[in-house]
């Protein structure tokens, strides 16, 4: 994608243009953002000192900067379990409830990627444990899919509703029937 951007710039400088850049497949959108906005790479690496410096300079965007799929820095930090970065982003004004194109919040990303510490921090600052993405999946369902009993327990303690159903009509308990960790099924059965 970087080469395409350079080629496009060269063609435009020569007075030639292209109708539109090719669509970026979703699997490559995050990588593309890392190439075009260094803030995402800093989040992934947990580089809080450089992030602070960038926020002060405002060169690459603020705490709610997002990629092509509208995935924010907070979502990236949650996905990589970078609690120090979460704290910095929150202090800089990151909005906890923003969603990406698929309707996922930072808590959804933390649950999907088994980022327990990040999920606990997000819950502590008011993240909605019952938010449903565009498929109706909640952070609890995503934690069940990730087979993370500790995260399932944390979400239930924070008020996650195990009875919410996704768009296919399945609730977290039905998702848990496929879980490899038997504690997950027990936690959800006890929550009803």
96 and 178 share one domain: no
49 and 94 share one domain: yes
185 and 95 share one domain: no
Residue 58 pLDDT: 67
119 and 152 share one domain: no
Residue 29 pLDDT: 41
106 and 34 share one domain: yes
188 and 164 share one domain: yes
114: left (phi over 0), alpha (psi -120 to 50) or beta: left
119 and 45 share one domain: yes
CB 30 within 8 A of CB 67: yes
100 and 154 share one domain: no
- Can you tell me which residue has the tokens 């933390």? 110
Residue 1 pLDDT: 40
- Reading the chain (192 residues) residue by residue, the pLDDT tens digits are 434 444 444 344 444 443 333 333 333 344 444 445 777 888 788 878 887 777 656 666 788 888 888 999 999 999 999 999 999 999 989 999 999 999 999 999 999 999 999 999 999 999 999 999 999 999 999 999 999 999 999 999 999 999 999 999 999 998 898 878 889 988 988 887
Q: pTM for this one?
A: 0.77
Residues near 83 by beta carbon (within 8 Å), at least 6 away in sequence:
77, 117, 118, 121
170 and 104 share one domain: no
Question: How far, in Å, CA of 156 to CA of 169, rounded?
Answer: 20
- Can you tell me which residue has the tokens 């996704």? 166
Residue 108 pLDDT: 97
Structure token digits, residue 146: 């990730």
CATH code (residue 162): 1.25.40.20
Q: Which of 38, 33, 82 is nearest to 57 (CA)?
A: 38
Element (H, E) at 192: none
160 and 102 share one domain: no
Structural domain of 152: 139-192
50 and 122 share one domain: yes
- Count: domains in the chain: 2
Domain edge (last residue) among 128, 149, 178: 128
Question: How far, in Å, CA of 137 to CA of 51, rounded?
Answer: 31
Residue 5 lies in a domain: no
């Amino acid at each position: 994608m970087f080469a395409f951007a350079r080629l496009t710039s060269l063609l435009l400088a020569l007075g030639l243009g292209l109708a539109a850049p090719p669509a970026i497949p979703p699997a490559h959108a995050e990588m593309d953002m890392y190439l075009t906005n260094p803030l995402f790479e800093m989040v992934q690496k947990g580089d809080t000192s450089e992030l602070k410096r960038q926020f002060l300079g405002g060169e690459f965007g603020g705490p709610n900067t997002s990629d092509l799929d509208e995935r924010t820095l907070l979502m990236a930090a949650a996905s990589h379990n970078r609690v120090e970065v979460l704290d910095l982003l929150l202090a800089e004004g990151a909005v906890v409830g923003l969603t990406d194109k698929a309707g996922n919040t930072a808590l959804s990303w933390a649950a999907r990627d088994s980022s327990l510490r990040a999920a606990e921090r997000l819950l502590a600052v008011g993240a909605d444990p019952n938010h449903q993405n565009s498929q109706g999946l909640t952070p609890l369902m995503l934690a069940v899919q990730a087979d993370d009993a500790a995260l399932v327990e944390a979400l239930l303690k924070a008020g996650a509703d195990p009875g919410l159903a996704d768009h296919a009509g399945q609730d977290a308990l039905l998702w848990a029937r496929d879980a490899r960790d038997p504690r997950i099924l027990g936690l959800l059965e006890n929550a009803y």
